[in-house]
Structure 1
């Protein structure tokens, strides 16, 4: 569980920096990263892709968080 949260924080921070140029604070990064990990996992399964290891988990969660932020920006 702790590792999942750490991956979420890293992915949320990366997504925030890649899309907006800044992070969202610890809690914001955690929320974006954790939800993004589910979105990324869903997208990867739809495309038939899989990622293994810590780096793969971070990449999957970051891509999902970027898609999540893009959708949130589009809805606004």
Structure 2
């Protein structure tokens, strides 16, 4: 049941992050889920910076709040990286 919950949290985090980020992010359901999962790991890293009991470099999933924050950060960085490759017609 853990993997299903992880996928559902990833999907929800990806959907919320895409709704909060301005602009058009054209990605499907699978890419949105992967965005949320990546955001969960980035959010886990951010959350470990605020805790004194854990190692900063331990990868662990977090709750929905830090997953959305991590997904927003991933979307922002992907937007910066893809900015130079746009084709103007």
Q: Which residue of 1 aligns with 2:38?
A: 35
Cα RMSD, aligned residues only: 2.0
Q: Which residue of 1 aligns with 2:14?
A: 12
Question: TM-score, normalized by length of structure 1?
Answer: 0.79
**2:28 equivalent to 1:25:** yes
Gaps in structure 1 of 5+ consecutive residues: 50-55
Q: 1:73 to 1:21 in 2, by over 3 A?
A: closer
Deviations 1:11-45 (A, max 9, x none): 00000110035663311110100011000000111
* Equivalent runs, 1:64-75 vs 2, <5 Å: 64-75=70-81
- Of Structure 1 and Structure 2, which has the larger fraction of its residues in helix? 1
Gaps in structure 2 of 5+ consecutive residues: 53-61, 83-89
Spell out structure 1 runs of 4+ moving beyond 4 A. Answer: none
Question: TM-score, normalized by length of structure 2?
Answer: 0.69
